[in-house]
Each structure stands twice: as structure tokens, then as C-alpha cells.
Structure 1
């Protein structure tokens, strides 16, 4: 792909520079973490200061760069195989993170993440492209449970903090690695650390990967059979980090990064028809055999950012000022499909000449600033005081097209050129040593948030009448070569557009490049330019529903208009919301001995509220309030001697009170109050605070160094979730004959989506000397019990007519059965050279990580298929 030339060239320059340096003149920058060097001191920053993991009350799990590589975790989405209770999925380019069943599936401009992603401790509001930061790392930390006091914004479920490798003063070194694997994948990565005098150092790193997600195009009709499946990625990124420490008191660091994702995008596949036709559950179908048709899937995501930090030590306390700017520019054309293949399906009967599809565009420019003063570690009272400011400007566009729409519907557009979010907060947090063994901790944070949006949203609709006012001719839209205008529209003010000419002109302005066989402009162009108020009737086999003919207005029947032409355009979208809330935490820690700590604490967290789409005459609530989580937690952290070596056993129990919970619900958007009783003529999904849940569970962590140079790490999580309040419209049973109305269904007693009751990760490793070097191997086994992909939990569907179907019979199974994944790795190290082989998802489990469920929709987003390969790495 030509788009990758610049990235590959930059990487090759870096790696060639590395390779040109004589090995004998180099000192290792970072030695391999050998299996016999299992350090029981693991540093984390959960409390906004570096601490030994065993001194932190709460559950923080961290994986270093070497461990991630050995585990075969080269992709952010695979992090969940090593961290129980963590779920990460990719829906159409947006990374969604859930921790202990808490998160957010609303990835539009109206939503916010529920588990806050961070880069080097700085909040990232739009986690599109988050995986591009997954190289040259120091470690990754997952902090479970609400972090509302110290980390603040949208950390209701916890935080995921990607910490990159920092420059090192006075050291020259780096590494270079290259890899190749199955599914035609290959990649390279490298970094170099350069000291510039005694007080200044820089580090440059680069990354490139080309891989295939494992989907297969099973289409048989031309040209669809030549389409490249979804999930192909070609990504590259670079990072430059600078560190200046002119004195023992002052430290200044700057990190700049650039990355680009290209490929065929990350859409899911609709399994609804396959389930209905076969009666089979998804685990009995091959969900990666997709029947593609229409436009080629395409994705391009360009992102860059810079963050800086100034730290000054005043002696008894320190001060820190951080700032960050991030830019995201995302565009995707969904790889459209007719669902998946299934036994007995006649692929030759598929209408491959159907270009219905989805177009996405997201631009985000965000700024994050934080000022903090804090007591140094030798103080009896270790405190933090800080202020936080966040501002994000977004531009978003979405267009769903219905090619060959025969009556009254040709697409839906939501395009917002002006979306703003702003937040500021002030916080105080501290830990006080009552005695040498007893500590109290407490914190409080005040947050104020504002959001606003301006743009358009609603349907494109053309109702075009034939002879004798017969209904209706179709419109072809989105065929080969089509490109929408989206954010490049010349006008977003539709308040005064109410004439046929204005409506037609606005629809045409939504098109940047017409498709080769599109008919919309030819059909309504005459309305837009005023030459014919009924447009131009075109009678073509692919837009004729079989019994509609053009009105005989002239013998040639080429310039005659339709018998009627009714046009609908999106409406004006203006929304705003403002909320403030307080988060707090309080706790106690007691050291039973130098190696054993007991703790208990209570804490809160909030996820931002917002507003819904607006429609004239609708009954949709304008805003929805922030969600709130109140968590009680008790636990112990223990170190002890086992087999003559240090071991760790940590235990935690927790209870969550989840209130003001937001569920998506079908609500009337077009109420006709002239009728008695009033009649609703349309419904839409909206966000409403109509839910509540309770969650309780326990986690255990065991780390052992065993005889024979073996190591064993076990992490286990038990989770019980239950919805205690929530009645919503059942979108699975939406009845368009009744204006889109749906029956109500109670969710009480159901489990939260993506919450497995049991999740266990076990890693067994060993090393031994072999010849001139050292051989090591490891196996990472993860078991996850069954979970549901939606809040409906496979409840029966009771339609408005009173008919009842099981979710399977209706095409909506949403239970992912329990499964086990296995990652394997083996490596051989001689001095500064290492050769590794890895296998990720060795058992090739096919797993649904997310689902979109609605009328005739059961769209699945899957895990990565089995991958394996070889990697060579040189450190210097």
C-alpha cells in the first residue's frame, strides 16, 4: 500500500542506523528479564506516585514490555488474556474497554469511555488508534475499580495506562527487532537512546506491522468475489521522547508521537439470517466466512500528539505541571456484507449488486492540562493537591446508505461539524501514617462538565411516484466510486430549507463524488435546479420494483417527471448539557507484619452524562445524567517465602452499587398529537438513566518461583452482576408496521454484558542454560466462563401481537459460551541477541467480544484468529 511508504522508510532509516553501530562499542540499554530474576518489587503509579505494587491497596495489574512480548501480546485487544475481568473490543475502529462488567458501548460523539485510557498518565478521550501506542513500552497498568479521585474523568470502571519507555541519562543503547508470521504478517520495531551531555537524553522509537485479522471472503459473484475482507491492517508509528534534568530538583520531559492505521477496517458481520435459517448457535457457525458485496472496505486513521511534564522538587514537597495535545483523524468505509455463510446457503442467489453501506468520519482535537503539588515520600502525611482541565473539539460524520431502497428511505446521516466537551476538576488526596503500621487514606474531587453539539441528523428519503401515482421507484446510491461529503458539506443549517428545490439541493450537497451507477442526482437534479418540480423519471431494471412505470408525459419518456416527488432531509441537531459531581474515597491500611497488609476502603466514580439526538415533536429526554458507582472493597497483600524464594498472594473482595445507569431505549421521535389517543410515527434509540445494578466479586493473585527455574503466576476473578432496575423497549421485536414501536421488557435479574462469572489466567514459565546461551519457554492459559453480549441475556421475545419466540428462534442468541485460550512462547538468548517463537490463541478459539443487537441485527465483533511466528531481537 502506497500509504505505508513514508512509515516504512522512516523505520528502515532508524533500524539501519541501529544496525550500523558496532556491537562491541555498545552497552545494553535494558537487559532481558530472565526467568530467574523474578523481582518481587513491581513498581506501579496507581496513587499518582511510584510505589511497590505490594504497598498499594486495591487491584492493580501490570505487565512489563518483555512480559507482554513473551506472552504473545502484541495487540492491545489481546491484553485481556492476561488480565482477568478485562474486556477489550474494537467496534468499527473504536476501542471499547470494560473492567468487571463496567464500561461504555456508546462510541459516538454522544458517549464517553467508562474505563479511562491513559498514555503516560494523561487521559485520552477518543481511544481510536490506541493500539498504535503499543510499542517500545515500559509497562501497561490496569487499575480496577473507580479511580474518580486521582484519575478523575470517566474512570468509573478503572483505568488502563500505557507507559512508554523513557530516555535514560548517560546511557547509549537501544534495540531492533523484526518478525514474520502466519496470515502473511510481518513487522519491525526499534528504539535508540542517545545521551546528549550529562543532563539531556533523547529516545527515538518506530514501529511497523502488516497483518490480517483472519476473515475470509466467500462471495461467488463478480465483482464482490474480488473484495479484500475486513481486518487487514498496515500500521506504522514513531515516537520521540526528550528528557532534561539540569539539576536534582528539576526534570522536564516531552514526548511526541505520530501514527497511521490503514487497511480494510473493523466492521462486524451480521449473523441474524444465518441463525434464523439454520437454527444453529453462533459457536456452530463459522463467523469469519463472510459474504461480502458492494463497496470495498477501507480505513485510514491518522493520529499524533505531544505531551510534556515539568517536575520540581522543593524538598519536603514537589510540584508537577503536565500538558497534552492529541489529534485524531479517522475515516472508514465499512466492508459491507450479506452476513455470513452457513450450511445450505445458496451463494449464487445473493444480490451482490447492492452497495448499501456505512461511512464514518471522526476528527478530534483534545487538550489536557494538570497542575499538581504533592508531599514527597519521606513525609508522614503524603498528600496530593491538583487541578485538571480538559477540552475537546470534535467533528463527526456518519452516513448509512440503503442502495435500492424501494420506498421512502435511502439513508441516514448524522454529521456534526461542531462538538465540544469541556471539563475541569479540583482534587485533594492523602495518606496519613497514624502509627508505623496503621494508615488512613482519603480523597475528594469536584468535577464540572459541559458538552455541546451542532449539526444535522436524520433520514435521506425519496418517495418517487410512477404512472397513476403508483409507489415507488427506487434510488441507487453509493455504487462504485461513491464518496459522501460528510464534514465537507457546504451548509449545515437546515432550519429554513422547506421547499422541494431546497430539499433536493441539500441531498445532492451530501455527495462529494457520485457513484458510477447512482441515480439520485439524475432523478432529483431537475428539482434542485428548478427546471422540473417533479424531477426526472428514470425507468431502469435495477430501480424498478416490477410494477411501476414512468408517467407517459412525453413520447420518449426521457425527460418526464415523476407523478410526485416527496423528499426528506435530516433535521437540525442542537444539544447541550452541563453537570457537576463530587467523587471521594476513604480507607484504612494496616500492616500485620512487614510482609502482610490488610485494607478496607470505599470509593466512588462517575461517567459523564450528555444529551440525546433531537427531533421536532419528539418525546426524547434532552439530557442524561452521569452514571455513579459506589464501591466497597476489602483485601490483603501478602509476601512470603516458598521453596526458598519470595512469593506473593493477594486477595480482594468488592461490592459495587451501580446507580443512575444508562441504558439505550427506543423512544418516540415523532408524536402525532392531533390524533386521540396520540400516535407515534417513529422511534429511535436514546440514552436514559433508567437502570441500576449490583456487582460483587473476589480476585486472587498468586506469584511463585518454583524449583527447577520454574515460575507460576495465577490471577483469578469471580464476578456476579445483576441488574436491579431497568425496563426498556425490546429492540429485537421492533414493529415497523406500528411506526417502529416495540414491546417493553424488564431487565431485572439479568447479568451485565461481557461479565463472566469466572475468569482465570495462569502462566507457567521456565528457563535453563543451553550451550552458550539460555533457553526459556512459557505458556499462558486463560479461561473465561460464559457471558452475555447484550442486556437481554437471551430472554424470550414477546412481540406486540402476543406471539412468543425464543431468542435463538428469532435470530438473537447473545450468549458467548465459556472458552479457553492458550498463548505459547519460546526464546533463546545469546548475549545481546534473542530469537523467539510465539503462538497467540493457539487453540484458535473463535469468540464474540461484542455484539450490536436490534431489529434484524445481530452483528458480531470477534477476537483475533490464531497467529504464530518468529521474532529476532538485538539489544545494544
Structure 2
């Protein structure tokens, strides 16, 4: 499948510098050849037995696709969301929303064909591109690790030998956004060239702060970004056999954090559905949202052509340093809400930190294309060292809970694989292809995880005093803690010291250090009683005696977290291709893919299963690829049908973490979300593509996808009905018969374009329309909720609607090129549709992550 220039130039010849409209090539009689690398070799798109969609840099700009998430408007069946900096990619309803250190992506992101394990900041690579490829369906044999749903491959512009040139562009957009981009290609003799590229954007995603509190009203909303990046590429080809490519890049994302909005309170208060509310009007409070993400990496590729085969070595090192303090909110505004009477002095918040250092190496031998048997043999090695931190604080918490921390200074992942794949020509029309890949993986981690809790007694042993934590200026230690070993901490003083070690900068009005500092330093085992109006729950007073401390003190700290897992699995593919004619091909194939397994959090006395196994997908696919003549011009029609067998599917499930077996019957005193292989699904559907070049310089691209998904196994605890009076227990609910999240039954994209010679230059315009039918945001599919006591509510009444209505988005673009200068105007989401792209649900929680609001702007570009 393709949504690209109607008459694109060969990828090897086309560069990001060029401003000539793609349709000019058609006028001059160039062939309609799109080069892709879906099978790990360059080949025409029409020769690929599968569904690949490719968009070149010109097409992306003209269609108003200015950042990664907007790619889904051009690729049916693709969904991309961003949760707290984690880019989540789903293809045909398959992917993964577990973006912690325990999880892995289900659709594998790549940069120049090299796997990226942590796709934080993936959008920073979205500049000076050659093209973007989306390969649908499992790619376990050729691409391997976590290519369960498919792959998304960002391919950057390469240096060009013997040519000096480049481009520079600047743009302005609504909501005070602006940016710049440029590249310079420098030849160093006939065999060596370098390319330097840079990018800057200052962007606003359209969220609004509607708070009326004096301090809260000054908070900047989530979704403000200021990002910059640079890339340096080198290409050396001393002869027609040897090639060396090195690419280094650096990027920095800064801003107020990625936008999300909790709609639970608005829905329960009004009974309105999300599409009847303005989800971008957010009630912010507490501290300013803040995000900083620094990324850099280097990758190299060395290839030598031995005549009958080519040997290739590639390696990559990537570094990610991410920190975010959420833009805290009390949900969204709604009719009748009293914003003036709201308690804005609440600094409850979430803090995230991720450090990742990953290495990817691959050695590959491949037969050259002029042989009857074309094969690939290779080995793959991956290693990642992570350190992650998370802290959720409950400021103004009255009694017994002040936060939850999961901080892991040592998280390791390692994988190696061996693969072989080939295609054999039985005749000049019939071909057979097959592949096999063996993978072995292991993971481990060490750290802490659990609650911060302070139970502080007052007069007559009354319970309990509150604690302020996280007020102005607060910053946690997270990965900078001096100690992560809690196994030997068995005294009140040791627990107090450990809690205080979690604080780098105390908040201006925090009380925690004042309350337990004396316990930590040993001067008073009862602490220091602080009785202040903002922590007064109305009936607890400081006790007399106890040397100014509390009448009793209980402190809870996180537990030790140690986990490991090891798995191996085999992926394979097999299929046939048959040419009905030089312009018509039929194919049928079976392919498999796996997503990595892992392990769960561990707690003392827990009944949580230690590990979860890799997910597996088997796909059966048939299709045809056809070129034909229409209106005296070359046209394309492709059709594909597929069936997915999805097994060992992982669902997150609430499970007992503290079972008291001393009671009869045993009583559970706490529950936590864990990963379980308790699901299975089947998926079937079809995709079609039609590309026409019409009279009067018009062109029409149509891509359509039909998808039917059904969960066939899966009984989980219903997190929407979690009952904390019962220790956190939730009723069980069957998911059988439900649709997979983010899977629209119908998805259509249509692009109409035209070019005209006007004056001394050329004018072109295009309109990209995308339709998605309704889809569900969670596996619960808006089913009614049946509580532990047998009562029930509709999902809407309980605050958990999760159906996104069908919608249409429209992107517009127009440009005028004269000589080396081009002026472009674009509009993304011109109809200003407000769409939920991801949801998190839990007790009193229904957080939506949304698309960008309407964006329009003007761009000037000059090439030299």
C-alpha cells in the first residue's frame, strides 16, 4: 500500500532538498517507481508481497503532516498516541500501551532500519527525511524484535556524492507557533560527502488553562513544546563495491509536558458524553508542568559487494534522558462547575524519569538481486541498560497515604537472534519465499516499589495528621537516591531516613521534613507534631507530652523489587508470488511475530505471577498488486485480505499483592495491576489502494481498510469498579466478544491534488481527507459495570465512556514554486475535530490523550 506522490521519483534519486512538484516527473514521462526496504533490500513497492505505505518528505510537507502523530491521518489502520512522552504505535489494532520498563512496543519503530527500543522523542527525528515506511503485519523474520504489529521506519536524507547543495525553510503557524529547518550537503572529493541538518520548533497543542485561582491561573497548560535537533551524516563510497555510512544525531525536547485530560469528574457531574464537552479546557492547579528530554545517538553501516553476495555490518548506540513533572489538573471544565470555589492549593502530582542506553548490532549476508535464489543470513544483538523513576504524590493527604514510588536504578535487557530468509524463482513468473528466525531474550531489574505512608497520631491517640508534600519548588530524588536497598531497613528511624532521602528539594510549604526529621536524626522517636490550618482535618490536635511529637508514628516505605525473565521463540514466514503478467501479481503468505515477555512487580506475600510470556501473532494473507493504463497514464490498484490469530495476549489485570492467610477465609489487603497472558483475539480484514493520474494534471490516491477485531479469550478484574473498602478488590468481567482498542472497522484516506503552470512558476494544491469509523479506547468497550455488591451502572453513569465516535479530518496544502524558491500554506485538522487517541481508566480516572487542534501556517523554502 502507498500514499505517496502520484509519480514519485526513485527514492535513490529523490532528496529532501528538491522542490520540484512530484507530478512534474509524470509530465516528463518518468516511471512511477517507489523504492522501499520492506524485505531488507531496495525494491519497487509493486514488487512487495505485503502492505507497505511510504510517504516521502515532499508529500509529508504538502499534506500538512508536520509531526509524527499526524502520520495516522494518511495511513489507514495506524494509530499513534503519546502518553507522558511515550510514543505508542498500533497497527490494525495490535500494539502495546505498556510503556514502563516492564513493557515493550508492539509495533517496532526504526531509524534508518535500526531498531529503537524506547520511542520517547521519536518525533524529534521527523525532519530532513527521505521517506517514512509503515510495514503492516508481523515482521518477525526480517525485522525481529517486537515487530508483532509491523514496523515504522523513519529514513533520513542521505549525503549525495559530488553535489553541493541544501535547503533552508522557515514557518509560522497559529497559536504563536514557529519553526525552522535546513540541510547542507557538502562533497569532499568524488567519494566522500557529508550532510548536516537542523530543526527547531516552538509549538502549542491548543490546551487552555481555565483555572481562576490566583496562582493556578498563571500556570501554562500542557502541550507547549520548544524542540531542537541536529543531524550529521557521512557517506563514503571509494568504489562501486564498498560503502560506509555514519549518522549522528542530537535532540532536545522541552516544554510543559504531554497533554492529557481527566474527564471522569465532568462526565459523572453532567451525564454528558465526551463529544459534548470541551476536552481541552483543563482546570490546572499545583506546580507548573515541566518536561525535558535529551536524546542522542550514532549509527553506522558498512557494506561490501563481493559480486554474488553483499556483506553488511551495522551498529547503533542511543541515549535517552527524560524527566517530566506532570501538568497537574482537576480534570476539565464543564457546565455548572464552580471554579471560583475550588481548592487550588493542592500540589498532588506525578514525576517521571527515564534513562536508557541501548546498543543494536547486526551482521548480514545477502545474495545480490540478479540471482535466481536471493537470500539473507544474519545475526542480531541488542542490549539496553535502563534506569527509571516514578513518584506519585498525594499532597494534603489526610492520614496514611502520601505517595507511591517505583524507582529502578538497574534495569537490563538483552536479546540475540539468528535469521535466514530467501526467495527462489521456480520460473520467471512463480516465486517461493520463506524465512526463519530464532530469538532469545532476557530481562532483569533491581529497585524499589510501593507506597509512602505516614500515620501520625494526635491527642488521645486520634488518627491522623495530614502531610503536605510536593508544594512550590519540590523535586524528588528518584534515580539520585543514595540507597535502594530496603531489605535491611527494619526500624522507624531507618524508614524515616529512607523517606527523606527521596527528596532532592523540599517544597516551600511541605511539612514532611518537619514532621519526621527528628525521627530520622534520632533526636525524637515520636517526631515533631505540626498542627497547621492547611493540614488540619478538623478533629486532631497535637498531644501533650511525647516531647512535642505525635502520640504514635507508623511509616511505610516501598518494598524491594527484584525481577528477571528469560524466553526464546521462533518466527517464520512462507509464501508464493505469481505474475499473471508483467503488471499483475498474486501472492499468498503466512507470517508470524512475537512481542517480548517480561516480569511483574513483586511484593512481600504477593500472589502475583512472576513472569508473563511473549505474545504471538500468526497472520494469513492473500493479495494482488496491479498496474494498468487509465486515461493514457499508469495507474495502480492493489488489494489485500488478511486473518490474524493472536494468542498469549497480555492484558493488565488487578491482582492481590498482600494476602493475609492467617484469617479464615484469607483476606487480601491490597491489589495492583499486573500483566497476564490471559487473552486471545482474532482479526480479519481487507485493504485496498487505487492511484490514478487524471487529465488536467489531477491525481487521486485512495486507500481503504476494513478491520473486524474480536477478543476470544480474556477474563479480567474490572478496574473501573475497584472497591477500596474491600482492600482494592474488583469484580471480574469477561472481555470475550469485545473489540480491540483503537481498531476502527472502516478507515479511508483520499488525496486529491493538482498542479498548474502559472506565470514563471508552478502552483500545486492538495487535499487529504481521512475518515475513521468509531472505535473503543479500552478493552471494556463501554460495557455496563457490575460492582461487588451486585449493583450495576452504565459506563456513562459511572464516568467511563470509552467510545470515540467516527470522525473526518481534512488536511489542506498549497504551494507556488518559482526557481529555487517555494512558498507553501498548509492546514492540519482543518475541521478542528477533537479526537481521543488513547485513554487510561481506573478508579475515578478516565484520562484522555488527544489529537492536535486545528493548525495552519505559512512556510518559505529555498534550495541551493
Normalization by structure 1: what TM-score?
0.96
Q: Are 2:95 and 2:106, in contact at CA under 8 Å, matched by a contact in 1?
A: yes
Q: Are 1:271 and 1:287, in contact at CA under 8 Å, matched by a contact in 2?
A: yes
Q: 162, 187, 201: which is aligned to 2:193?
A: 201
What is the distance in 1 between the residues matched to 2:307 and 2:17?
30
Q: Tell me what 1:745 maps to.
A: 733
The answer for unaligned runs of 5 or more in structure 2 is 1-14
The structural deviation recorded for 1:348 is 1.1
Q: What pairs up with 1:387-402 in 2 under 5 angstroms? A: 387-402=379-394
The structural deviation recorded for 1:34 is 3.1
Deviations along 1:736-755, one digit per CA (max 9) or x if unpaired, are 00000000000000000000
Q: 110, 116, 123: which is aligned to 1:118?
A: 110
Q: What pairs up with 1:535-546 in 2 under 5 angstroms? A: 535-546=527-538
Q: Tell me what 1:875 maps to.
A: 863
Q: 710, 713, 719: which is aligned to 2:707?
A: 719
Q: Tell me what 2:457 maps to.
A: 465
What is the distance in 1 between the residues matched to 2:21 and 2:658?
63
The structural deviation recorded for 1:33 is 3.2
Q: 657, 660, 664: which is aligned to 1:676?
A: 664
The structural deviation recorded for 1:337 is 0.2
Find out whether 1:523 has 2:515 as its counterpart: yes
Find out whether 1:495 has 2:511 as its counterpart: no
The structural deviation recorded for 1:532 is 1.1
What is the distance in 2 between the residues matched to 1:243 and 1:775?
35
What is the distance in 2 between the residues matched to 1:760 and 1:407?
53
Find out whether 1:446 has 2:438 as its counterpart: yes
Instruction: Give the superposed CA RMSD.
Output: 0.9
Find out whether 1:314 has 2:306 as its counterpart: yes
Q: 560, 579, 583: which is aligned to 1:595?
A: 583
Find out whether 1:85 has 2:77 as its counterpart: yes
The structural deviation recorded for 1:269 is 1.3
What is the distance in 2 between the residues matched to 1:734 and 1:863?
29
Q: 11, 34, 37: which is aligned to 2:22?
A: 34
Find out whether 1:215 has 2:207 as its counterpart: yes
Q: 680, 683, 689: which is aligned to 1:695?
A: 683
Deviations along 1:687-719, one digit per CA (max 9) or x if unpaired, are 000000000000001110000100000000000
Displacement over 4 Å in runs of 4+: none
The structural deviation recorded for 1:828 is 0.3
What is the distance in 2 between the residues matched to 1:30 and 1:248?
25
Q: 276, 300, 305: which is aligned to 2:268?
A: 276
- Count of aligned positions: 846
Q: Are 1:28 and 1:173, in contact at CA under 8 Å, matched by a contact in 2?
A: no
Q: 348, 351, 360: which is aligned to 1:359?
A: 351
What is the distance in 2 between the residues matched to 1:28 and 1:772?
23
Q: Tell me what 1:56 maps to.
A: 48
The structural deviation recorded for 1:31 is 4.3
Deviations along 1:653-702, one digit per CA (max 9) or x if unpaired, are 00000000000000000000001111000000000000000000000011
Q: 132, 137, 147: which is aligned to 1:155?
A: 147
What is the distance in 2 between the residues matched to 1:553 and 1:222?
40
What is the distance in 1 between the residues matched to 2:181 and 2:835?
29
The structural deviation recorded for 1:36 is 3.6
Q: Tell me what 1:24 maps to.
A: none
What is the distance in 1 between the residues matched to 2:399 and 2:853?
41
The structural deviation recorded for 1:802 is 0.9
What is the distance in 2 between the residues matched to 1:542 and 1:823?
50
Q: Are 2:16 and 2:157, in contact at CA under 8 Å, matched by a contact in 1?
A: no
Q: 258, 272, 288: which is aligned to 2:250?
A: 258
Q: SS of 2:171's equivalent?
A: strand
What is the distance in 1 between the residues matched to 2:273 and 2:515?
44
Q: Tell me what 1:172 maps to.
A: 164
The structural deviation recorded for 1:28 is 11
Q: Tell me what 2:653 maps to.
A: 665
Q: Are 2:749 and 2:771, in contact at CA under 8 Å, matched by a contact in 1?
A: yes
Find out whether 1:231 has 2:223 as its counterpart: yes
Find out whether 1:128 has 2:120 as its counterpart: yes
Q: Are 1:36 and 1:709, in contact at CA under 8 Å, matched by a contact in 2?
A: no
What is the distance in 2 between the residues matched to 1:490 and 1:537?
27
Find out whether 1:560 has 2:552 as its counterpart: no
Q: SS of 2:563's equivalent?
A: strand
Q: Tell me what 1:474 maps to.
A: 466
Q: Tell me what 2:5 maps to.
A: none
Q: Which piece of structure 1 moves more, 714-723 or 525-534?
A: 525-534
What is the distance in 1 between the residues matched to 2:747 and 2:341?
43
Q: Are 2:16 and 2:128, in contact at CA under 8 Å, matched by a contact in 1?
A: no
Find out whether 1:144 has 2:136 as its counterpart: yes
Find out whether 1:765 has 2:757 as its counterpart: no
The structural deviation recorded for 1:120 is 0.1
Q: Are 1:729 and 1:744, in contact at CA under 8 Å, matched by a contact in 2?
A: yes
Q: Tell me what 2:812 maps to.
A: 824
What is the distance in 2 between the residues matched to 1:775 and 1:247?
41
Deviations along 1:177-220, one digit per CA (max 9) or x if unpaired, are 00001000000000010000010000000000001010000000
Q: Are 1:762 and 1:780, in contact at CA under 8 Å, matched by a contact in 2?
A: yes
Q: Tell me what 1:756 maps to.
A: 744
Q: What pairs up with 1:180-199 in 2 under 5 angstroms? A: 180-199=172-191
What is the distance in 2 between the residues matched to 1:874 and 1:34?
17
Q: Are 1:363 and 1:396, in contact at CA under 8 Å, matched by a contact in 2?
A: yes
What is the distance in 1 between the residues matched to 2:762 and 2:18?
17
Q: Tell me what 2:778 maps to.
A: 790
Deviations along 1:399-444, one digit per CA (max 9) or x if unpaired, are 0000011121000000000000000000000000000000000000
Q: Which piece of structure 1 moves more, 45-54 or 531-540?
A: 531-540
Deviations along 1:93-147, one digit per CA (max 9) or x if unpaired, are 1100000000000010000000000000000000000000000000000000000
What is the distance in 2 between the residues matched to 1:261 and 1:33?
32
Find out whether 1:649 has 2:637 as its counterpart: yes
What is the distance in 2 between the residues matched to 1:841 and 1:238?
28
What is the distance in 1 between the residues matched to 2:20 and 2:613?
49
Q: Tell me what 2:822 maps to.
A: 834
What is the distance in 2 between the residues matched to 1:83 and 1:275?
32
The structural deviation recorded for 1:30 is 2.9
What is the distance in 2 between the residues matched to 1:452 and 1:437?
50
What is the distance in 1 between the residues matched to 2:305 and 2:137?
31
Q: Which piece of structure 1 moves more, 34-43 or 836-845?
A: 34-43
Q: What pairs up with 1:14-25 in 2 under 5 angstroms? A: none
The structural deviation recorded for 1:553 is 2.0
What is the distance in 1 between the residues matched to 2:403 and 2:513?
15
Q: SS of 1:574's equivalent?
A: strand
The structural deviation recorded for 1:29 is 5.3
The structural deviation recorded for 1:498 is 1.1
